[in-house]
Amino acid sequence: MGTLAPFEAVPALRGAKIDADGQLRGPVGPLHPAPGGGGTQDLPRPIVGDFSSEASMPETKLRVGFIGIGAMGTPMSHNILKAGFPLTVYDRIPARTADLAKRGVAVASTCAETARKSDVVITMIGQVAEELEAVLGTGGVLEGAHPGLTLIDTSTVGIVASRKMASAAQERGVAFLDSTVSGSVGPAKEGTLCFMVGGDPVALDGVRPVLRAMGDRIYHVGPNGAGSAMKVIVNLMIGMTVLTVAETLTLGRQAGLDPRQMLEILGETAVNSPHLRNKGKMMIEGRFETAFALKYMQKDFDLIMEAAHETKTPLFASAIAHQVYTAA
């Protein structure tokens, strides 16, 4: 199989925007008329099927397993439970599953056990090596796989790891979807994540109700690896934007400009964006509470440079940003 250039995976995403929470939002191609007329709506028309109404839900709800009950996995799993899906959870740190256990959720002892008890297994794991171990390792998901199982990886692991898991899953007769997410903890709690899915569209159709419990937008962006490619692109844009805003405000301050006025003026120009407004405001106010841990941005830039290498794509500015985040 030849390499998959990230941009080739997402031809339908022209004009997409990244909002203050780091979420990908439409329009996709032309904006669609807003309900009731008068202007346009920001949310894109669903690409795959109709998400609305209970008619799209199977009569017998899928049994869902969720692996990785961390900052993102906790609200995502709670929303799955709220939607009425039978749920089994696993985390390598047992204390993280305690609250769900109190709610009557089954807690598995291994990833393999989670797979045996589920029709759909979702993983949300922070580091690439841990994700690969959870899926491919001893006691992993594929060890407990059975015919008809669908594995949905919502982690950020990059194109190479996604394809590796997809190949191993196929050998076991398991459908694999790299279903990366745009959006942080806030949208995860609200159930408004955006899913960027690579894999078989038929497999996606089968699990759409599960994804719909956690998000309000689902893009099918191509074959396995394409979901991870799109995530790399989104995080590249976010990471570069944060650095640009920081350096812009620092230079202006050193030149004697008023930071608040500078931010106001920049907001009236073509470079205005949610990240400029929100992150810029936090910077000039000296508020640096963590919304996305630095170690994950470092990991994401590792994956960005990996993608550049795999696709033989020179990324000069990104390579410098990679060094900045690594040094930080």
Just list the catalytic residues.
231
- Give 87's strand partners: 64
Q: Which residue has the tokens 């997402």?
A: 10
231-256 in b/e form (b: 16+ CB < 10 A) is bbbbbbbbbbbbeebeebbeebeeee
Cβ atoms 30, 45 nearer than 8 A: no
H-assigned helices in the chain? 73-82, 98-102, 111-116, 128-136, 158-171, 185-190, 201-212, 226-254, 259-266, 274-284, 294-310, 316-327
Residue 152, SS3 per DSSP: strand
- For the record, the structure tokens of 240 come out as 């570069």
Could you tell me the two tokens for 57? Answer: 């839900």
For the four alpha carbons of 188, 192, 195 and 201, in that order, the dihedral sign comes to positive
Among 68, 89, 213, CA closest to 153: 68
Amino acid at 104: G
